[in-house]
Structure 1
Amino acid sequence: MSKGVFSPKTWILLAVVAACMAVAPQFLSRFYTYLISLVLVTGLLAMSLNLVLGYGGLYQFHHAVFYGVGAYTFALMRVKTDLPSVWAYLAAPLVALLLSLLIGWICVRLSKLYFGMLQISLGSLVWAIVYRWYSFTGGDDGIHGVPVPELLSSIDNAYYFTTAVTLLCLFLMYLVVNSPFGRVFQATRDNPERSEAIGVNVKRHQLVGLMVAGFFAGVAGSLFVTIEGSVFPDMMFWTLSLEILIMCLLGGWFSFFGPMLGAAIVVVLRTVIGIHTEYWTLILGVILMLLIFFLPEGVLGYFTARWGSRRRAAMEDL
């Protein structure tokens, strides 16, 4: 697992990427600006999953339910209340956090695959309620035409808002991963029995980790509604959870930015391939198969490992 400490070259690269993103809308069409916004939202969602999957070792197989609940919370508050939009942005991650607390409190009693299977069952129950509650959630039609703040009505302003919030969330995730809690959380992943033996409350740390991941998934849900203006039940269906999991594996779930890279690859490929064929899921299955065989550590994990081996070889030569 990456220790999360960035080298000066990494910080320089991140600064260059941030500068390019700041000027991107001035040179790109509305479609590509929207596409980058969607990549950022999806990447934030994937990285929130990686907090518990890669750093916590928890089989969170239905992470999309927190994403969907955050999106529905934002949309319902905008459609059914007259409260300022800031309250909707605050409520979305908090409701997702509370749901993750409830589901996590039930699921942490189990471990590994049993944890994942129980979470899929509970998440599917939430999806079924949203899917059938026509009078409140719109049922299978979802909610369309969600009003967003006038300031964010243009695609460029929505892009800058999405970028700013995503970068803030990534910074907060970085702090969490490298905090004392984050170190202990990783220890519970590597050896839960030894952690328990030295006095660490493993279940409590796992529950807190689930709540943090649910919070950031809720933020991603509210950002999705901001750029799309709609929400639908498929956002919390188990197939999206599987897609998010593939993003983490594709980019590298043992690296901090790996899920963001995996999300970018999946979203761009889905957009490009979807223009030519409707069998996107077949292509995704082939990608997953090739990934398992040739890049088990993910794309970013593979290049990070190769770069690390070259640096060690260079140091040995000295």
Structure 2
Amino acid sequence: MYKALFDMKTTFIGLVLLALLLMLPQFLPRFYVYLSALIFAIALLATSLNLVLGFGGMYQFHHAVFYGFGAYAFALFATKSGLPLWLGYAIAPFFSAALGLVLGLITVRLNQLYFGMLQISLGSLVWAITYRWYSFTGGDDGIHGIPLPDLVGSSVGAYYFNLTVAAVCLLLMYAIVHSPFGRVFQGIRDNPERCRAIGVNVQRQQLVGQTIAAFFAGVAGTLFVTVEGSVFPDLMFWTLSLEILIMCLLGGWFIFLGPALGAAIIICLRTFAGIYTEYWTLILGLVLMLLIFFLPEGVLGLFLHKAGPAARRER
């Protein structure tokens, strides 16, 4: 009975939130419309990381490389191919998925910390190639003035496009988490030895999980291009990966929508803190320190803890 009531309440809150998001561009100034569209992209990125981190137990320390790779794939397609721009949105995430597959084949055989450290090394190699390949990627200048379809050429158009794509991708990831594959994936997180003992191919499951997460990170990269109209090598730098990791921890990394909330908080904090200080990394370090001491379960984790055990089971 309580579960049914909780589901009804959750559905109602979700519908109200969606209605508010659909109406926001009619009331917000242009800057806040832009900021909201950016938050949708980063929320999708953080949630894609949490797919393998919180639900798979994989120490993916350089997730930003898939995000930047997807953004660059779309930018290069839009500026060099001469093909319809909408085709770039469909193709670019598969380049990120392919990169995730290649890096996974190298790293997935390692355990936890070694997996993460090798991924940082390989991701930094991809960043270095992008940073230095001036004739193809623009080097440290990046690529600017990327053409976009007319439908998303305005801030309002980009807002609705990012909202729609992010919502669809979040629903797909939610379905994956609650699918048989997702249950096995969480079982590997909790006890990989037992999963091996019952015949689960742990490395193959982790490889599939990383490839899926890389795909959705690539989608987030295309959404970033939709908002900014440019790409640059910093999208693949390891410090951005650290920032995404903090988003997951801040919102609640064992809760599906926790990273999305963490992304919204961090993006807003970074945007408005930049008005008053240049030392954003110092503020980010303080946020991480406070998280470790006072919010180990994240903001949503604290909320669900206060809501009681029945609510926690529905996370």
The interval holding the TM-score normalised by the smaller chain is over 0.9
Deviation at 1:7, TM superposition (A): 2.2
Q: Give the whole-Å Cα distance in 1 for the aligned partners of 2:249 and 2:241.
A: 13
* Distance in 2 between residues matched to 1:258 and 1:245, nearest whole Å: 12
Secondary structure of residue in 1 paired with 2:308:
helix
Q: Which 10-residue stretch deviates more, 75-84 or 303-312?
A: 303-312
1:92 pairs with 2:92: yes
C-alpha displacement of 1:311: 6.9
Q: CA deviation at 1:310?
A: 8.4
Question: In 1, Cα distance between the equivalents of 2:301 and 2:11?
Answer: 18
**Matching of residue 137 in structure 1 with residue 114 in structure 2:** no
- Report the AA paired with residue 79 of structure 1: T
CA distance in 1 between counterparts of 2:254 and 2:151 reads: 38
Distance of 1:11 and 1:133 partners within structure 2:
48
Letter of the structure 2 residue corresponding to residue 287 of structure 1:
V
Q: Name the counterpart of 1:272.
A: 272
1:45 matched to 2:56? The reply is: no
Segments of structure 1 that go 5 or more residues without pairing to the other structure are 1-5, 313-318
Q: How many angstroms apart in 1 are the aligned matches of 2:106 and 2:72?
A: 23
Give the aligned partner of residue 102 of structure 1. Answer: 102
Q: CA separation in 2, counterparts of 1:100 and 1:172?
A: 18
Instruction: Give 1:210 shift.
Output: 0.1
Query: Hey, what does 1:159 align to over in structure 2?
Result: 159
- Compared with structure 1, are the counterparts of its residues 192 and 310 closer, same or farther at alpha carbon in structure 2 (3 Å cutoff)? closer
Task: Please name the residue that 2:234 is paired with.
Answer: 234
Asked if residue 286 in structure 1 is aligned to residue 286 in structure 2, the reply is yes
Cα RMSD after superposing both structures:
1.1
Matched residue, 1:223: 223
Native 8 Å contact 2:101 2:211 kept in 1:
yes
For normalisation by structure 2, the TM-score amounts to 0.96
Distance 1:211 1:90 in 2: 16
Alpha-carbon distance in 2 for matches of 1:74, 1:14 = 31
1:8-27 equivalences under 5 Å are 8-27=8-27
Alpha-carbon shift at residue 282 of structure 1 (Å):
0.5
Structure 1 residue 149 displacement after superposition: 0.4
Deviation at 1:85, TM superposition (A): 1.0
2:86 and 2:149 in contact (8 A); partners too: no
Amino acid at match of 1:122: L
Q: What does the per-residue CA deviation read over 1:50-100, in whole Å, with 9 as the maximum and x for residues that have no partner?
A: 000000000000000000000000000000111111221111110000000
Q: Quote how far apart the aligned CAs of 1:244 are.
A: 0.1
Per the normalisation by structure 1, the TM-score is 0.95
- Report SS of the residue matched to 1:143: coil
State the one-letter code of the partner of 1:134: Y
Residue 151 of structure 1: CA displacement? 1.5
The residue identity in structure 2 corresponding to 1:213 is A
Alpha-carbon distance between aligned partners in 2 of 1:256 and 1:109, rounded to the nearest angstrom? 26
- Secondary structure, aligned partner of 2:147: coil
**Runs of 4 or more above 6 Å deviation:** none
**Paired residues of 2:61 and 2:117 also in contact (CA < 8 A):** yes
Instruction: Find the aligned partners of 1:18 and 1:161 in 2 and give their Cα distance.
Output: 14
Distance, in Å, in 2 between the alignment partners of 1:158 and 1:168 is: 15
Percentage of pairs with the same residue: 67
Is residue 304–residue 311 contact of structure 2 (8 Å, CA) maintained in 1?
Answer: no
